[in-house]
A = this chain, B = another copy of it.
């Protein structure tokens, strides 16, 4: 059995070999390496044992027909599914004629370390072969954060034996059968068809949609021979006692002349060599951590988890470039590799403040899909742009419209990401070239969707908000408030101001949607298996007051200025009792509102839930990829929750609180030319501006810190109050 050691601040270390396919799959996700462009799941070097092979190239996908038992007008007819790219990981080692296979012989030591500052996955193995040969193996793997097309492996084996190495680039590996879970991916069998092959590179195309991909590989450090087949390049070398070699692979796809480009990329990387690639990686990460790091002194488990999350957010976004950032990044094929609203509402806010250089490209990708969004709006008899609920290249790929197409809020979410990015960076060129058009086209959609009643109040009917246990509701408050923000950005305050905010006078709380608080309560006293969606029909979920994930509570973060403090307290308590957190998107937001309403230990619990989701949770949840939004969620819970960051109206505001168990919380935010470092201890709150003057609010008070200046405040005393009514999550959750 494997174990992940908790305490290391800058590494994730696994000792032992995961037992069973599910544990292997989860570890492969945790130890995935990616740069937003190329992603390698953390499969072992040798092909077996393994959970699920995974090599992903951002937006290398196959198109599949969708068929419905009972189709309806404008149901999407095709979907996109990420496919497994040529896999350059496999290296088979033979020791005195016996294959190194950890399922045989004796495994004396197995350790993997994901180094968050080096950006490498290091593996060390001590194994005794069935024939009694003691073998020591060390591999170091990286996916270059600076060279988008490049991955590299350094591989060393020591053994007093004849050694043989078969190092493969292999195509169309068999995938395990998909799980019976709507969140899993479809399996595309044998997705790639050979176009050409030579000792340097394989060129393939996707079987149905004819997308091209080239993979060029080379090996450094030893003589060897290459055998080229349509679906396999095999480099073989032999030696004894100690053998070290480096393997460099370069991918190019969806472009012209891609074989030669891949070979050129490979050659440039090979000329540098593994050591140089590793140094570049370190330097890139040093720059990243200089502002992205969040320090949580006194809480080593959380410290590790938040850095792990940030590292994977970076890996999902760093070089995503002209392609989207998927919900699973490039760590697995869950959700078919689609991007959803998570990116704009969870991932991009974190990157906007920590690593804004990759946010502009991510939003430019959205802009590049405007034609598809306009066509979709026209198909739906709407106006402007209707961005897809889930997609890889732009078209709507959601196969269950009540929780897909009907979630129109995705359009306002995208507009909000544009606003935030521009406010944070001042990137006017981006606005001129992309951002303004996104805001205008999404606002046009709302103008068509919103209607005025006889009193002149504006409504949005029949849409689905973030909570997927409700659907097709009227005046979903999150949607209304986000649509209003979108309309205001486009200069339609007149209409925005009229959008209603459903409120229950009786309950003294806002309604998630019109009529929500009059619905039947969910009976939490009954025994329920979670997540409910795998054990209850939508029929029951939709018609009762049970909330999958923060919806109105999310609105209190994204439209925080639309609620009084007292409303937030009452609303939070009300929805807290009805929210089952069956989505990983929920806990980070509940953490933020728990912190804001003064329930700090509850906030901490949700922070931990989000931060540790992929790192600690066993089982299937992370097996087909990490929850990149939850990875971002740890930062959101800490910085927006305990730091109290709000960024409405282009202004940074903080209400800092020290998390329970911590002695110091420190984080930084990039802000136009400058950077603001915030340090919270029991005794003081310190703001340090770097590189430029930064203006912000501290507990409502406007502060301007000059470049290099440090401003210090006494913290406001905050008790973690269990004041009545204490918000409580439902029984069983």
Contact = CB atoms under 8 A, between A and B. Distances in A.
Contacts of A66: 69
B537 A73 contact: yes
A520 interface: yes
Contact of A519 (B72, B73, B461, B471): B461
B459 A520 contact: yes
Nearest to A73: B537
B73 A399 contact: no
Nearest to A183: B70
> Among A71, A79, A382, A402, which residue has the most Cβ atoms of chain B within 10 A?
A402
A577 B136 CA distance: 82
Interface stretch (A540-548, A582-590, A631-639): A540-548
Contact of A70 (B70, B74, B400, B534): B400
Given A402-B402, A461-B543, A542-B472, A381 B72 contact: no
A543 B474 contact: yes
A463 interface: yes
A549 B513 CA distance: 27
A69 B66 CA distance: 6
A690 to B, nearest CB: 47
A539 interface: yes
B69 A399 contact: yes
Given A474-B519, A520-B459, A544-B461, A539 B69 contact: no
A449 to B, nearest CB: 8
Given A472-B472, A515-B474, A542-B472, A537 B68 contact: no
Interface string A512-533: 0011001110000000000001
Contacts of A542: 462, 472
A interface SS class: loop
A538 B72 contact: yes
Interface in A197-250: none
A255 to B, nearest CB: 30
Nearest to A408: B539
Contacts of A403: 70
A400 B69 contact: yes
Nearest to A540: B381
Given A68-B400, A515-B474, A74 B462 contact: no
A474 B461 CA distance: 14
B461 A520 contact: yes
Contacts of A543: 461-463, 472, 474
A542 B462 CA distance: 7
A451 interface: yes
Nearest to A397: B69
Contact of A68 (B68, B76, B463): B68
A381 B535 CA distance: 9
B73 A381 contact: no
B518 A515 contact: no
Nearest to A506: B454
B67 A380 contact: no
B520 A451 contact: yes
A453 interface: yes
Given A68-B400, A72-B533, 20 more contacts: A67-B67, A69-B76, A69-B400, A70-B182, A70-B398, A70-B400, A70-B403, A70-B404, A72-B182, A73-B534, A73-B536, A74-B537, A380-B537, A380-B539, A402-B402, A405-B539, A453-B518, A462-B542, A474-B518, A474-B519
Interface of A: 66-74, 76, 79, 182, 379-382, 398-406, 451, 453-454, 459, 461-463, 471-472, 474, 506, 514-515, 518-520, 533-540, 542-544
